[in-house]
């Protein structure tokens, strides 16, 4: 990896996802997570991104489901969106009935 290459938003998203995993495993506090995410979004190069996670172990998913494709995240967001739409429809129906 050439540490002088410019980082992309996809690179930043990948590093933030890794920081979230480390936080959920108890390796980082929420304050440390917040500070590091700020560093990730300020990073300009791949070397800057690598510095943010230098003291953390490389996380290899042990469960193939944990290494899900990006479509898995989109599917989760679609479910959240569907629940939100259903909630709004029910709220609208309730408001119409109680008038």
Same domain, 14 and 59: yes
Same domain, 62 and 73: no
pTM of the complete model = 0.59
Other residues' Cβ atoms within 10 Å of the Cβ of residue 14 = 14
Q: Which domain holds residue 80?
A: 69-99
Dmax over Cα atoms in the chain, in whole Å? 64
Q: What contacts 93, CB < 8 A, 6 or more positions away?
A: none
Average pLDDT across the chain, whole number: 86
Query: pLDDT tens, 47-84?
Result: 999 999 999 998 655 554 555 556 666 788 888 888 99
Q: Are residues 11 and 37 in the same domain?
A: yes
Q: Say whether both 1 and 44 belong to one domain.
A: yes
Judgement on whether residues 16 and 42 belong to the same structural domain of the protein: yes
Same-domain status, 79 and 39:
no
Query: Are 63 and 85 members of one domain?
Result: no
- pLDDT-derived band at 2 (thresholds 50, 70, 90) equals confident
1-5, 19-23, 65-69 — which one is most confidently predicted on average? 19-23
Domains in the chain, number: 2
């Amino acid at each position: 990896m050439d540490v002088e290459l410019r980082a992309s938003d996809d690179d930043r998203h990948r590093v933030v996802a890794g920081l979230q995993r480390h936080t959920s495993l108890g390796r980082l506090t929420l304050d440390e997570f917040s500070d590091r995410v700020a560093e990730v979004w300020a990073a300009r190069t791949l070397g800057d991104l690598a510095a943010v996670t230098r003291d953390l172990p490389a996380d290899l998913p042990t469960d193939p489901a944990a290494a899900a494709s990006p479509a898995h995240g989109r599917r989760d967001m679609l479910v959240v969106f569907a629940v939100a739409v259903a909630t709004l429809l029910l709220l609208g129906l309730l408001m119409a009935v109680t008038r």
